[in-house]
Structure 1
Amino acid sequence: MALRWSTLDPESVTAWAELTNLLARVDGTEEFYDAEDLAEELTEHGFSPASDSLAVWAGEMLVAYAQLRVPTSLTHAEGYARVSIGGGVHPDYRGQGIASEMFDRMEPRGEALAQERHPGAPIQLRASGGVESDPVRPLLTERGYEPVRYFTAMERPLPGADLPALDSRVVPFTPDLAEATRLAHNDAFASHWGSGPVTPEHWRQMREGRSFRTAFSRVALAEDGEVLAYTTAQQWVDRELYIGLVGTRTAARGRGLARAVLNASLVAAADSGEFDLVELEVDSANPQGAGALYASLGFEPVRTTAVFARLLPR
């Protein structure tokens, strides 16, 4: 059957979700999404599905897709313009050159968009290499990408082992603290690999998204109301909570605040009875030793994925 190439759109989200969840099982990433979650991605600030996505069809079945994202900010440390290419190919349609064709189409678009948004900045192409057995890794290597970072997913059962007592410095996250938390995040992640400042538009979309769980997000406040540390919580899978971000302002480190806010989120999730499991992800080379912190609160590693990257010549 001849393949039909198009782009992602609202009519494709059901088939897109089916393929995404199939790949989450087959490739071992466990990254599951509902159609409603993916529909939100089509409206992300700075993302144009008509030019920044691909959909490959065999009849009425979606057999491959690709997404391109170019943030509107440069990385904190290197000043890179990031071009992230994501997607996947149905297991029955691998080995036919579909993934190569998607990269052939997405890379030039990403380079052009990066040059438009960040004239003169060095451009870094990025793609997920998945878990060690992912068949995309040889393809990425052939295209000049190299593994540049590893991230480990960690899980903790709920209620699980007893958690420490709550810290009085921690309070629930509320919408009026959104901007103060964004500023704290940008300060906290200035030393994290590959990250850049989060814009108000992207922060708003995250906290207004259907996956965001305000009830289980927490902040630690200074006396003047400045956010010193925070956790953000999200949910995509029934009875599983995901801790999306944990951060502490540089000047506030060493006071146990990251542990305090994360513990408060865990206590709230356990007390709610809504979850059997909580998951988060840690950079394997995190300079603040986050992995040890998470282990101290009962998290255990379950899988490791790689990020591959290629720096384009100026």
Structure 2
Amino acid sequence: MRRLGIHSFVWTGGQTQEGLERALEQSAEHGYRCIEFAYLRPELFDLDRLARKSQDLDVQIGVTMGLPLDKDVSSEDPDAVAAGKAMLADAVRAVRDIGGDKLGGILYSAHTKYNRQPTAGGWANSVQAIAETAELAEKAGVDLVLEVVNRFETNLLNTAAQGMKFIADTGNDHVRLHLDTFHMQMEEANLAAAIRMAGDKIGYFHIGESNRGYLGDGTIDWDRVFDALAEIGYDRDVVFESFSTAVVDEGLSLACAIWRDTWTDSAPLAAHAKQFIDLKWAEALRRQATNRRA
């Protein structure tokens, strides 16, 4: 079942319990049926309370994260790899405990701009770590989705084709791709072709404009993106993601280079995004139906 969701950083920097609960409430008020939280440290938040809030509002929680350098599973340092595996296992448990249904993001490497090429040994270490994490996630009832991001945020998976090779190497069907239009418009020669190539291996999809701001104000050809999603019959979650210095987590701001206000008021941004995505989906489905009759 396809649900339309929104990233919690549209509403809050995510540092407080109150902020996360308010983000759930505001998402529900705007008609979103799922929300994405950044990595939740169980010692800082009441996960049971967030789970109850999510259930009461009928807003499904998903969680995304990136690994720090000292827990980089694509490293050739066995201590870093072991620490990364432990962090991923903890994250799976946290998602389970909050009633979430997916763990995504940059799970396969550090979330950073690397100063070196990836290595064959690092790739192998990452593949093994993700395969092991996928087994834990499947037992916990949590989907595992790997976000393919731009060259300034990882050196390992920058294109859907690289992502497909990686998940094939894990040998685990529980691992899927997490594609994001913001990253794709930098790295893919053709966004629609990449979506069609990945097909049913896409487990999660981020809708984000090229400038991180209002949808339609950047350079992405949204008709082609939605036509491709409709063509492959994509029926999993679609989440709107937008970052601004108006509301941002400090760590994310540094990792993703969020240096300016792409917007200043959350509510109109969220309302516009829902309207925009609903409209583009409807238009794509109408075109698909017309093409079938032709």
Normalized per residue, which structure has more strand? 1
Normalized per residue, which structure has more helix? 2
Higher relative contact order (CA 8 A, sep 6+): 1
Q: Same fold (TM over 0.5)?
A: no
